[in-house]
């Protein structure tokens, strides 16, 4: 398998040359083509030229452009590089083009990559996804609005004002005929034939280029969109070969020397973003890259950009060696995320039929009721709601699972009423601990009043429930056994459905006065706990 590695870089010329040399040394017929940012200093570029020397398998792009984050210049850099490749007719020497950055390093032997591409020849390894691919922030507006100025990775008042004004004017740009805009990572591995089709299409359709030049972060749209148009869907793998992760605020994972033990466990064949100071990690990657193929079975579906194992390893504080995430992007800081939004909400814990019955009884206009939002295979908004609520979609459960607390904050912030969500056995249990620690959450416990829930517990756990306990203590104990949450919920934040009388409620404030019926009683109990005015009173 003949591979061309196209590298976009802007600094560290010595490390860049080292990276290129390892790639060609590890592969039988590999080549490297480097686009070095024209905005970098002349001195830096001269160092790269000198470091590369006269190695015939490492080429430098002549038509370099100055690159800027989030602009079309990053797309143009790739286009210029591919055009030079095709003009030199060197594409005949390669079957695949793998797009990397200067901060991408191998996480598996290059021989293994060559075998993988040989076994999956004809597949295009790129993400081609809908707007749900974007975790947070602008989605369709990235191309439906105009972005005539250079974007910024930081908060920009000018950018915010531009977006706000266009929203007020109801601006909605038309997508060029025949195109459906798709999203995905800018780091891909495409067949040389597909690369040639893309370049030809852009040359023949200058209006498409003009359209994308005024979009936001087009490097995450152009290639996914064109691959989606020009390639049969059966030949699109819909994942890339580079392990990466960005937080919802756009801050990247950074790997350091302390992460050497994780290197061989990483999915994919490359990983980013590697610190320039991680010399030991870099050497470990190089040693792995030039090692022989271990013959392990490779399945295309096993290559994933899921960051969950590294979320679990992440640490707090600002990044230093050994810490993967930036302080503000650590999903473990779930309780801090919830506390960042001070608005009351209600969580009903119980079997699926039980919670559905309770929620359906809350017909007061002060509530916005949802279903099992943390259902394992969907974001269940409930039968009374459409499949998309305030821009959030039921199919977006993978986005939810990256940061459950952030997702809950987003949901709560997009409704004016008091949100009511459900949790039942089988739902994502990880969220339970932070829900019970959030003072904004009022907890309605109904797990204990459901025989199917009690009977599903192990015999040892059922034995722990024996003995005289008041209603609230019993309900708390069942909740702990079902969810695995160790801490008890403060009594002032819970409402408990009574075991003795249907519709009877107990709370941390003591038994509340009974309303005209069970439904009204539940509503009034929640209102009392939330310090809201009760209904049905004189």
User: Could you tell me if 358 and 464 lie in one domain?
Assistant: yes
The answer, yes or no, to whether the previous bond of 528 is cis (omega within 30 of 0) is no
CB contact set of 90 (below 8 Å; sequence gap of 6+): 4, 31, 59
Residue finishing a domain among 255, 277, 311:
311
Order of strands across the sheet that contains 505-507: 367-369, 418-423, 345-349, 441-445, 494-497, 505-507
Q: Please determine, for residue 401, whether its predicted confidence score (pLDDT) is greater than 50.
A: yes
How many C-beta atoms lie closer than 10 Å to residue 152's C-beta?
A: 13
Q: Please determine, for residue 162, whether its predicted confidence score (pLDDT) is greater than 90.
A: no
Alpha-helical (H) ranges within 364-403 are 397-402
User: Could you tell me if 237 and 368 lie in one domain?
Assistant: no
Range of the domain at 486: 334-529
CA 426 to chain centroid, in Å, comes to 23
User: Is the Cα torsion angle 260, 262, 265, 268 positive or negative in sign?
Assistant: negative
Q: How far apart are CA 19 and CA 25, in angstroms?
A: 10
The pTM score is 0.62
Residue 86 counted as domain residue: yes
Kindly compute the dihedral angle of the four CA atoms of residues 186, 192, 196, 202, in this order, to the nearest 10 degrees.
0
Q: What percent of the chain lies above the pLDDT cut of 90?
A: 41
CA separation (Å) from 267 to 136, 242, 417? 24, 8, 42
Q: How far apart are CA 224 and CA 233, in angstroms?
A: 12
CA-angle at 243, arms to 240 and 248, nearest 5°: 100
Specify the 3-state DSSP secondary structure of 33: strand
User: Could you tell me if 83 and 165 lie in one domain?
Assistant: yes
CA 307 to chain centroid, in Å, comes to 8
Residue 534 counted as domain residue: no
Look up the CATH number of the domain holding residue 240. Answer: 3.90.550
User: Could you tell me if 300 and 225 lie in one domain?
Assistant: yes
For residue 179, the model assigns a pLDDT of: 96
Residue 14 counted as domain residue: yes
How many domains is the chain built from?
Answer: 2
User: Could you tell me if 377 and 287 lie in one domain?
Assistant: no
How many C-beta atoms lie closer than 10 Å to residue 291's C-beta?
A: 15
Residue 326 counted as domain residue: no
Residue 536 counted as domain residue: no
CA 509 to chain centroid, in Å, comes to 41
User: Could you tell me if 133 and 247 lie in one domain?
Assistant: yes
Which of 4-8, 308-312, 413-417, 508-512 holds the top average pLDDT?
Answer: 4-8
In the chain, what is the greatest distance between 2 CA atoms, to the nearest angstrom?
91
**Do residues 282 and 22 lie in contact, with contact meaning Cβ atoms separated by under 8 Å?**
no
**Average confidence (pLDDT) over 116-141:** 88
Q: How far apart are CA 244 and CA 295, in angstroms?
A: 25
**Do residues 198 and 227 lie in contact, with contact meaning Cβ atoms separated by under 8 Å?**
yes
Q: How far apart are CA 465 and CA 458, in angstroms?
A: 11
Residue, of 327 and 235, whose pLDDT is higher: 235
List, in sequence order, every beta strand (DSSP E) within 459-530: 494-497, 505-507
For the record, the structure tokens of 280 come out as 């030991």
User: Could you tell me if 264 and 371 lie in one domain?
Assistant: no
Q: How far apart are CA 333 and CA 325, in angstroms?
A: 11
User: Could you tell me if 289 and 343 lie in one domain?
Assistant: no
Give per-residue pLDDT as tens, 310-326: 443 433 333 333 344 44
Band (pLDDT 50/70/90 cuts) for residue 252 is: low
Helix 110-119 × helix 13-26 angle, to 10°: 60
For residue 317, the model assigns a pLDDT of: 34
Q: How far apart are CA 40 and CA 46, in angstroms?
A: 11
Least Cα distance to 18 among 43, 46, 55 occurs for: 55
Residue, of 81 and 495, whose pLDDT is higher: 81
Q: How far apart are CA 483 and CA 304, in angstroms?
A: 29
**Do residues 247 and 69 lie in contact, with contact meaning Cβ atoms separated by under 8 Å?**
no
CA 200 to chain centroid, in Å, comes to 32
User: Could you tell me if 151 and 298 lie in one domain?
Assistant: yes
Residue 282 counted as domain residue: yes
Which of 63-77, 121-135, 264-278 holds the top average pLDDT?
Answer: 63-77
């Amino acid at each position: 398998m003949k591979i061309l590695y196209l590298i976009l870089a802007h600094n560290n010329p010595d490390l860049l040359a080292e990276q290129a040399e390892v790639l060609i040394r590890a592969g039988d017929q590999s080549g490297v083509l480097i686009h070095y940012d024209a905005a970098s200093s002349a001195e830096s570029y001269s160092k790269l030229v000198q470091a590369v020397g006269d190695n015939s398998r490492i080429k430098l792009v002549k038509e370099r452009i100055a690159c800027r984050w989030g602009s079309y210049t990053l797309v143009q850099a790739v286009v210029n590089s591919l055009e030079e490749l095709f003009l030199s007719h060197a594409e005949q020497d390669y079957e695949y083009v793998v797009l990397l950055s200067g901060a991408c390093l191998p996480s598996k032997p290059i021989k293994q990559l060559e075998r993988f591409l040989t076994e999956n020849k004809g597949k295009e390894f790129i993400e081609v996804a809908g707007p749900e691919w974007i975790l947070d922030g602008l989605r369709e507006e990235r191309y439906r609005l105009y972005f005539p100025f250079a974007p910024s990775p930081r908060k920009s008042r000018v950018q915010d004002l531009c977006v706000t004004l266009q929203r007020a004017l109801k601006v909605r740009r038309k997508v060029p005929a025949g195109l459906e805009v798709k999203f995905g990572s800018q780091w891909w591995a495409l067949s040389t034939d597909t690369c040639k089709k893309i370049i030809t299409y852009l040359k023949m359709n200058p209006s498409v280029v003009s359209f994308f030049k005024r979009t936001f972060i087009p490097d995450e749209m152009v290639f996914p969109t064109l691959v989606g148009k020009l390639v049969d869907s059966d030949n699109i793998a819909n994942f890339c070969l580079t392990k990466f992760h960005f937080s919802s605020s756009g801050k990247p994972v950074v790997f350091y020397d302390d992460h050497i033990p994780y290197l061989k466990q990483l999915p994919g064949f490359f990983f980013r973003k590697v610190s320039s100071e991680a010399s030991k990690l870099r050497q470990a990657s190089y040693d792995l890259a030039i090692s022989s193929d271990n013959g392990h079975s490779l399945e295309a579906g096993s290559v994933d950009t899921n960051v969950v194992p590294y979320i679990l390893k992440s640490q707090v504080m600002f990044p230093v060696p050994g810490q993967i995430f930036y302080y503000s992007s650590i999903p473990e800081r779930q309780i801090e995320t919830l506390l960042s939004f001070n608005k009351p909400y209600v969580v009903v814990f119980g079997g699926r039929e039980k919670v559905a019955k309770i929620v359906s009884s809350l017909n007061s206009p002060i509530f916005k009721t949802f279903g099992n939002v943390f259902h394992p295979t969907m974001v269940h908004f409930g039968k009374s709601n459409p499949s998309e609520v305030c821009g959030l979609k039921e199919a977006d459960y993978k986005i939810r699972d990256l940061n459950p607390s952030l997702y809950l904050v987003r949901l709560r912030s997009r409704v004016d009423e008091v949100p009511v969500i459900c949790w039942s056995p089988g739902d994502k249990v990880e969220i339970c601990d932070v829900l019970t620690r959030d003072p904004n959450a009022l907890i309605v416990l109904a797990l204990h009043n459901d025989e199917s829930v009690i009977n599903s517990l192990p015999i040892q756990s059922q034995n722990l429930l024996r003995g005289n306990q008041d209603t609230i203590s019993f309900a708390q104990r069942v909740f702990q056994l079902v969810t695995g949450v160790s801490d008890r919920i403060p009594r002032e934040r819970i409402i408990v459905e009574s075991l003795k009388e249907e519709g009877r409620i107990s709370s941390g404030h003591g038994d509340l006065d009974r309303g005209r019926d069970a439904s009204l009683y539940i509503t009034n109990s929640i209102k009392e706990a939330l310090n809201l005015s009760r209904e049905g009173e004189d």
